[in-house]
Protein backbone atom coordinates (compact mmCIF):
# COMPACT_ATOMS: atom_id res chain seq x y z
CA UNK A 1 0.00 0.00 0.00
CA UNK A 2 1.04 3.61 -0.62
CA UNK A 3 1.80 5.92 2.27
CA UNK A 4 3.97 8.77 3.45
CA UNK A 5 6.59 8.80 6.19
CA UNK A 6 5.60 11.46 8.70
CA UNK A 7 8.00 10.71 11.56
CA UNK A 8 11.22 8.83 12.13
CA UNK A 9 12.59 7.85 15.52
CA UNK A 10 15.84 5.90 15.21
CA UNK A 11 14.85 3.06 12.87
CA UNK A 12 11.12 3.19 13.48
CA UNK A 13 9.21 4.87 10.68
CA UNK A 14 5.69 6.19 11.16
CA UNK A 15 3.89 5.84 7.85
CA UNK A 16 0.53 7.41 7.18
CA UNK A 17 -1.62 5.29 4.88
CA UNK A 18 -5.00 6.90 4.19
CA UNK A 19 -5.75 8.14 7.69
CA UNK A 20 -4.06 5.31 9.58
CA UNK A 21 -0.61 5.36 11.12
CA UNK A 22 1.67 2.35 10.82
CA UNK A 23 4.91 1.81 12.72
CA UNK A 24 7.26 0.29 10.15
CA UNK A 25 10.81 -0.85 9.70
CA UNK A 26 12.71 -0.28 6.49
CA UNK A 27 13.95 -3.13 4.35
CA UNK A 28 17.63 -3.85 4.90
CA UNK A 29 18.21 -3.51 1.18
CA UNK A 30 17.98 0.30 1.46
CA UNK A 31 20.96 0.39 3.81
CA UNK A 32 23.02 -1.69 1.44
CA UNK A 33 22.23 0.66 -1.42
CA UNK A 34 22.97 3.68 0.75
CA UNK A 35 19.38 4.94 0.51
CA UNK A 36 17.83 6.29 3.68
CA UNK A 37 14.10 6.86 3.87
CA UNK A 38 13.35 10.37 5.12
CA UNK A 39 10.33 12.24 6.42
CA UNK A 40 8.09 13.14 3.50
CA UNK A 41 9.00 10.09 1.46
CA UNK A 42 6.17 8.44 -0.40
CA UNK A 43 6.64 4.74 0.18
CA UNK A 44 5.15 1.38 -0.56
CA UNK A 45 4.50 -0.65 2.56
CA UNK A 46 4.02 -4.37 2.99
CA UNK A 47 1.26 -3.97 5.58
CA UNK A 48 1.30 -7.67 6.55
CA UNK A 49 4.81 -7.26 7.93
CA UNK A 50 4.92 -3.45 8.44
CA UNK A 51 7.96 -3.12 6.22
CA UNK A 52 8.76 -0.29 3.84
CA UNK A 53 9.63 -2.05 0.60
CA UNK A 54 10.01 0.85 -1.81
CA UNK A 55 10.71 4.58 -1.80
CA UNK A 56 9.02 6.44 -4.66
CA UNK A 57 10.88 9.16 -6.57
CA UNK A 58 11.19 12.47 -4.69
CA UNK A 59 10.05 15.77 -6.19
CA UNK A 60 12.59 17.57 -4.02
CA UNK A 61 14.81 16.98 -1.03
CA UNK A 62 16.11 19.34 1.63
CA UNK A 63 19.28 18.66 3.55
CA UNK A 64 18.49 20.80 6.55
CA UNK A 65 16.14 19.67 7.91
CA UNK A 66 16.22 16.35 6.11
CA UNK A 67 12.82 16.19 4.46
CA UNK A 68 11.57 15.18 1.03
CA UNK A 69 8.59 16.12 -1.11
CA UNK A 70 8.09 19.56 0.34
CA UNK A 71 4.84 21.04 -0.97
CA UNK A 72 4.89 24.62 0.26
CA UNK A 73 7.32 27.20 1.54
CA UNK A 74 5.79 29.77 3.83
CA UNK A 75 7.91 32.78 2.99
CA UNK A 76 7.67 35.00 6.03
CA UNK A 77 8.38 38.65 5.24
CA UNK A 78 8.18 41.36 7.87
CA UNK A 79 7.07 44.75 6.60
CA UNK A 80 9.00 46.53 9.36
CA UNK A 81 11.73 45.64 11.90
CA UNK A 82 13.38 44.31 9.82
CA UNK A 83 12.11 46.37 6.89
CA UNK A 84 10.47 44.66 3.94
CA UNK A 85 13.20 43.24 1.75
CA UNK A 86 11.66 42.71 -1.68
CA UNK A 87 14.79 41.29 -3.28
CA UNK A 88 15.00 38.67 -0.56
CA UNK A 89 11.33 37.88 -1.09
CA UNK A 90 11.76 37.49 -4.85
CA UNK A 91 14.93 35.44 -4.37
CA UNK A 92 13.16 33.06 -2.01
CA UNK A 93 10.25 32.74 -4.42
CA UNK A 94 12.68 31.86 -7.22
CA UNK A 95 14.65 29.46 -5.11
CA UNK A 96 11.68 27.49 -3.86
CA UNK A 97 9.99 27.50 -7.26
CA UNK A 98 13.17 26.12 -8.77
CA UNK A 99 13.02 23.31 -6.19
CA UNK A 100 9.44 22.39 -7.12
CA UNK A 101 8.09 23.96 -3.96
CA UNK A 102 5.10 26.29 -4.14
CA UNK A 103 5.63 29.58 -2.31
CA UNK A 104 3.05 31.04 0.05
CA UNK A 105 3.82 34.60 1.17
CA UNK A 106 3.06 35.66 4.72
CA UNK A 107 3.51 39.33 5.63
CA UNK A 108 4.10 40.07 9.32
CA UNK A 109 4.17 43.12 11.62
CA UNK A 110 1.54 45.10 9.75
CA UNK A 111 0.60 46.54 13.13
CA UNK A 112 3.80 48.63 12.97
CA UNK A 113 2.77 50.48 9.80
CA UNK A 114 1.09 53.81 9.20
CA UNK A 115 -2.06 53.71 7.11
CA UNK A 116 -0.21 54.96 4.07
CA UNK A 117 2.47 52.28 4.40
CA UNK A 118 -0.27 49.71 4.87
CA UNK A 119 -1.83 50.73 1.55
CA UNK A 120 1.46 49.91 -0.19
CA UNK A 121 1.49 46.44 1.32
CA UNK A 122 -2.09 45.84 0.21
CA UNK A 123 -1.03 46.81 -3.30
CA UNK A 124 1.92 44.40 -3.17
CA UNK A 125 -0.34 41.64 -1.87
CA UNK A 126 -2.71 42.24 -4.77
CA UNK A 127 0.12 42.02 -7.27
CA UNK A 128 1.55 38.76 -5.96
CA UNK A 129 -1.96 37.31 -5.82
CA UNK A 130 -2.65 38.44 -9.37
CA UNK A 131 0.30 36.41 -10.64
CA UNK A 132 -0.98 33.31 -8.89
CA UNK A 133 0.47 33.18 -5.41
CA UNK A 134 -1.31 32.79 -2.12
CA UNK A 135 -0.58 35.75 0.14
CA UNK A 136 -1.61 36.06 3.78
CA UNK A 137 -1.02 38.25 6.80
CA UNK A 138 0.14 36.60 10.01
CA UNK A 139 -3.05 37.91 11.59
CA UNK A 140 -5.09 35.31 9.69
CA UNK A 141 -3.78 31.99 11.03
CA UNK A 142 -7.02 30.12 10.22
CA UNK A 143 -6.61 30.86 6.49
CA UNK A 144 -2.98 29.75 6.59
CA UNK A 145 -3.86 26.52 8.38
CA UNK A 146 -6.51 25.82 5.75
CA UNK A 147 -4.03 26.43 2.92
CA UNK A 148 -1.37 24.05 4.27
CA UNK A 149 -3.58 21.25 5.55
CA UNK A 150 -2.01 17.80 5.12
CA UNK A 151 1.00 19.26 3.31
CA UNK A 152 4.72 19.34 4.00
CA UNK A 153 5.76 22.89 4.60
CA UNK A 154 8.98 24.74 5.29
CA UNK A 155 9.34 28.20 6.72
CA UNK A 156 11.71 30.63 5.10
CA UNK A 157 12.60 34.23 5.72
CA UNK A 158 14.96 36.56 7.44
CA UNK A 159 15.88 36.15 11.07
CA UNK A 160 13.50 38.24 13.15
CA UNK A 161 10.79 38.18 10.47
CA UNK A 162 8.43 36.33 12.79
CA UNK A 163 8.69 32.69 11.73
CA UNK A 164 8.62 31.20 15.23
CA UNK A 165 5.90 33.64 16.25
CA UNK A 166 3.88 32.44 13.27
CA UNK A 167 4.13 28.79 14.30
CA UNK A 168 2.94 29.80 17.76
CA UNK A 169 -0.02 31.57 16.13
CA UNK A 170 -0.84 28.48 14.08
CA UNK A 171 -0.81 26.13 17.04
CA UNK A 172 -0.54 26.36 20.81
CA UNK A 173 1.07 22.93 20.94
CA UNK A 174 4.70 23.98 20.94
CA UNK A 175 5.36 27.43 22.43
CA UNK A 176 8.52 28.11 20.48
CA UNK A 177 11.05 30.57 21.77
CA UNK A 178 10.95 33.94 20.04
CA UNK A 179 13.32 36.82 20.62
CA UNK A 180 13.22 40.57 20.83
CA UNK A 181 14.92 41.93 17.77
CA UNK A 182 18.19 43.68 18.37
CA UNK A 183 17.45 47.41 18.19
CA UNK A 184 21.06 48.28 17.39
CA UNK A 185 21.17 46.22 14.23
CA UNK A 186 17.52 46.58 13.31
CA UNK A 187 17.41 42.89 12.63
CA UNK A 188 16.78 39.74 14.56
CA UNK A 189 19.29 37.65 16.41
CA UNK A 190 19.52 34.00 15.55
CA UNK A 191 17.03 32.46 17.89
CA UNK A 192 16.31 29.19 16.20
CA UNK A 193 19.02 26.74 17.14
CA UNK A 194 17.60 23.45 16.09
CA UNK A 195 15.31 22.21 13.39
CA UNK A 196 12.19 20.23 14.01
CA UNK A 197 9.05 19.28 12.19
CA UNK A 198 5.92 20.62 13.80
CA UNK A 199 2.62 18.86 13.31
CA UNK A 200 0.03 21.57 12.72
CA UNK A 201 -3.38 20.18 11.93
CA UNK A 202 -1.78 17.30 10.00
CA UNK A 203 0.52 19.64 8.10
CA UNK A 204 4.19 19.05 8.82
CA UNK A 205 5.99 22.35 9.21
CA UNK A 206 9.75 22.76 9.41
CA UNK A 207 11.26 25.87 10.95
CA UNK A 208 14.48 27.22 9.36
CA UNK A 209 15.07 25.15 6.26
CA UNK A 210 18.36 25.03 4.42
CA UNK A 211 17.74 28.14 2.37
CA UNK A 212 19.57 30.54 4.63
CA UNK A 213 22.62 30.65 2.40
CA UNK A 214 20.33 31.77 -0.41
CA UNK A 215 22.58 30.20 -2.92
CA UNK A 216 21.10 30.68 -6.35
CA UNK A 217 24.33 29.86 -8.12
CA UNK A 218 23.15 26.43 -9.25
CA UNK A 219 20.29 28.03 -11.15
CA UNK A 220 21.05 28.52 -14.80
CA UNK A 221 20.39 31.99 -16.20
CA UNK A 222 17.97 30.47 -18.72
CA UNK A 223 16.06 28.82 -15.90
CA UNK A 224 15.87 31.88 -13.67
CA UNK A 225 13.40 33.71 -15.92
CA UNK A 226 10.88 30.88 -15.60
CA UNK A 227 10.94 31.22 -11.81
CA UNK A 228 9.48 34.71 -12.31
CA UNK A 229 6.25 33.06 -13.34
CA UNK A 230 4.47 36.13 -14.70
CA UNK A 231 7.24 36.63 -17.31
CA UNK A 232 6.12 33.41 -18.99
CA UNK A 233 2.89 35.13 -20.03
CA UNK A 234 4.79 37.14 -22.61
CA UNK A 235 6.27 35.97 -25.86
CA UNK A 236 9.37 37.87 -26.90
CA UNK A 237 10.89 38.11 -30.36
CA UNK A 238 13.72 35.78 -29.36
CA UNK A 239 12.80 32.52 -27.68
CA UNK A 240 15.96 32.65 -25.58
CA UNK A 241 15.32 36.28 -24.61
CA UNK A 242 16.66 37.00 -21.12
CA UNK A 243 14.50 40.15 -20.96
CA UNK A 244 17.62 42.19 -20.48
CA UNK A 245 19.32 44.00 -23.36
CA UNK A 246 17.38 42.31 -26.17
CA UNK A 247 15.08 44.34 -28.38
CA UNK A 248 11.41 43.59 -28.90
CA UNK A 249 11.24 42.21 -25.40
CA UNK A 250 7.61 41.86 -24.38
CA UNK A 251 8.53 41.55 -20.71
CA UNK A 252 10.27 44.94 -20.75
CA UNK A 253 7.23 46.42 -22.49
CA UNK A 254 4.99 44.93 -19.81
CA UNK A 255 7.13 46.58 -17.13
CA UNK A 256 6.80 49.94 -18.92
CA UNK A 257 3.04 49.44 -19.19
CA UNK A 258 2.92 48.60 -15.48
CA UNK A 259 1.60 45.11 -16.15
CA UNK A 260 4.66 43.67 -14.42
CA UNK A 261 5.69 45.17 -11.08
CA UNK A 262 8.86 47.23 -11.55
CA UNK A 263 10.50 45.85 -8.40
CA UNK A 264 9.97 42.30 -9.68
CA UNK A 265 11.76 43.11 -12.89
CA UNK A 266 14.57 45.05 -11.18
CA UNK A 267 15.09 42.18 -8.74
CA UNK A 268 15.15 39.73 -11.63
CA UNK A 269 17.96 41.72 -13.27
CA UNK A 270 19.91 41.87 -10.00
CA UNK A 271 19.62 38.12 -9.47
CA UNK A 272 20.50 37.50 -13.12
CA UNK A 273 23.65 39.59 -12.64
CA UNK A 274 24.49 37.62 -9.48
CA UNK A 275 24.29 34.21 -11.13
CA UNK A 276 25.99 35.14 -14.39
Ligand X SMILES: Nc1nc2c(ncn2[C@@H]2O[C@H](COP(=O)(O)OP(=O)(O)O)[C@@H](O)[C@H]2O)c(=O)[nH]1
Minimal distance in Å, beta carbon 62 to ligand X? 18
Minimal distance in Å, beta carbon 166 to Mg ion? 9
Taking CB under 6 A as the criterion, the residue among 42, 47, 50, 191 binding ligand X is 191
Minimal distance in Å, beta carbon 248 to Zn ion? 8
Residue number with CB closer to ligand X (159 or 195): 159
Taking CB under 5 A as the criterion, the residue among 47, 192, 195, 244 binding Mg ion is 192
Binding flag, residue 236, Zn ion (CB under 5 A) = yes
Minimal distance in Å, beta carbon 56 to ligand X? 33
Which pairs count as long-range contacts for 97-103, CB under 8 Å and 24+ apart, including other chains?
97/227, 97/229, 98/219, 98/223, 98/227, 99/60, 99/70, 100/59, 100/60, 101/60, 101/70, 101/71, 101/72, 101/73, 101/154, 102/71, 102/72, 102/73, 103/72, 103/73, 103/75, 103/133
Question: Count residues contacting ligand X (CB under 6 A)?
Answer: 20
3-state SS, one letter per residue, for 138-158: CCCHHHHHHHHCCCEEEEECC
Burial of 54 (0-12, 13-18, 19+ CB in 10 A): middle
Distance CA 254, CA 238 (A): 16
Taking CB under 5 A as the criterion, the residue among 78, 164, 168, 267 binding Mg ion is 164
Taking CB under 5 A as the criterion, the residue among 14, 42, 191, 263 binding Mg ion is 191
User: Which span (10-18, 58-66, 85-93, 248-256) binds Zn ion, by CB under 5 A?
Assistant: 248-256
Residue 98 CA to chain centroid, in angstroms? 11
From residue 131 to residue 170, the character string flagging contacts with ligand X as x (rule: CB under 6 A) and all else as - is -------x------------------x-xxxxxxx-----
What counts of helices (H) and strands (E) characterise the chain? 8, 13
Contact footprint for ligand X (CB under 6 A): 108-109, 111-112, 138, 157, 159-165, 178-181, 188, 191-192
Positions in the binding site for Mg ion (CB under 5 A): 163-164, 191-192
Amino acid sequence: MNGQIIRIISDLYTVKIDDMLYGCRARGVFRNKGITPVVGDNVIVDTDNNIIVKILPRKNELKRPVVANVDYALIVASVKEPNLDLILLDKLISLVTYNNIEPIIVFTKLDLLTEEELANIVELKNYYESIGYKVFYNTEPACIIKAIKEKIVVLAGQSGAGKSTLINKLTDKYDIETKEISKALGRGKHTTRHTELYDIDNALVADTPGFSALDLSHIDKDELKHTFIEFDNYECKYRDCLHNKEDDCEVKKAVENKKILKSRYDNYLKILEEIK
